[in-house]
Amino acid sequence: MKETSRTGIVSVADIADAGELLDLYEVTSEDLSRIAAVGKRVMDDIPKHVDEFYVWMKDQAFFDEFFSDRKTLERVQKMQAVYWRDFFTGVVDAAYVGKRRVIGETHARIGLPLQAYLAAMNVSFRIFTNAAANGATPKAYAAEVRSMTKLMHLDTAIVVEQFAKITNQIIARQGQALIEMSTPVTAIWQGILMLPIVGIIDSKRAMDIMNAMLAKIGETRARVIILDISGVGVVDTAVANHLIKITKATRLMGCECTISGVSPAIAQTIVELGIDVGNISTTATLRDALESAFRKTGVVLRESS
């Protein structure tokens, strides 16, 4: 058995072996035999039961958004029939587990709400447990339902964890894209970088800004970077401290940071708060910052006659 995490909980997503999953959910060979026995009774009627499921599905709010296209609906119905045929074979191997993970991944990528999947599984369970009652003694039927419940819990766990894994990956990529969009360090001249900041600067964003600036400085070997804060609405003690740390970090890499866009209101706030800005180079406008950067890098601009 795979080692447990620090919390003592085994993650289904980390278990590759089907046998370990069966052990985790206490699905025994007897359970699989009972499920296969149910399969013999319901296998021929699976298409009918899938149709019954879609009678319910068509009344749900998410149906039109995801399944209104006829070809898509037909494809999904065929896939669902295959799903239940696999379920009622009573064979759980690596291929079986892999198919369940594909379901979780697919639902995450198309954006189908997890509650829609769980509701659908609940309805499917009702349909197939009702179907299993035909041709079984009460005692045998009770045992079969317990076995079906175990395997359905295993299936659901695989799908939900894979859904969560893919969703987290998508969120992480979106978050990274937002970070890159909110910290667009741009080379505006040889040896000169600029980063305009709009919005609020908190500890997390300040760290993202610093990382982006230092990475770009290392990549371009820039001598000057302009940090334009004209789009920052509020500068308090915390924001000022973040800016001071950023300028110190860039200086350690041999690059001087000039903060532009210091409005009269921001300047007054900094003075009233008694914040020591030290040796930070500041300018009121971006134009002033650019002229200063050109002087520091030896760039001479001449107006054409």
pLDDT 10s digits, 202-251? 888 888 889 989 999 999 999 999 999 988 877 788 888 888 889 999 99
Do 21 and 134 fall within a single domain? yes
> 133, 164, 179: which is the final residue of a domain?
179
Residue 229: domain span: 186-296
Do 26 and 165 fall within a single domain? yes
Residue 125, domain CATH? 1.10.490.10
Do 87 and 229 fall within a single domain? no
Do 208 and 263 fall within a single domain? yes
How many domains, in total, are found in the chain?
A: 2
Do 172 and 52 fall within a single domain? yes
How far is 37 from 40, CA to CA, in rounded Å?
Answer: 5
Interval 4-24: pLDDT, tens: 443 444 455 555 588 899 999
How far is 149 from 34, CA to CA, in rounded Å?
Answer: 12
Do 154 and 235 fall within a single domain? no
Interval 155-207: pLDDT, tens: 999 999 999 998 888 887 776 666 555 668 888 888 999 999 888 788 888 88
Q: List all residues 6 or more positions away from 38 whose beta carbon is below 8 Å from its beta carbon.
A: 88, 128, 132, 136, 144, 148
Name the pairing type of β-strands 256-260 and 281-282: parallel
pTM of the model: 0.60
The H-or-E segment that residue 228 falls in is: strand 224-232
Q: How confident is the model at residue 275 (pLDDT cuts 50, 70, 90)?
A: confident
**Residue 3 belongs to a domain:** no
* DSSP three-state, residue 259: strand
Do 23 and 156 fall within a single domain? yes
Beta carbons of 228 and 198 less than 8 angstroms apart: no
Residue 282, domain CATH? 3.30.750.24
**Residue 141 belongs to a domain:** yes
* CA dihedral over 246, 247, 252, 254, signed as positive or negative: positive
**Residue 149 belongs to a domain:** yes
> 179, 198, 227: which is the final residue of a domain?
179
Do 170 and 83 fall within a single domain? yes
> 179, 208, 228: which is the final residue of a domain?
179
Do 87 and 46 fall within a single domain? yes
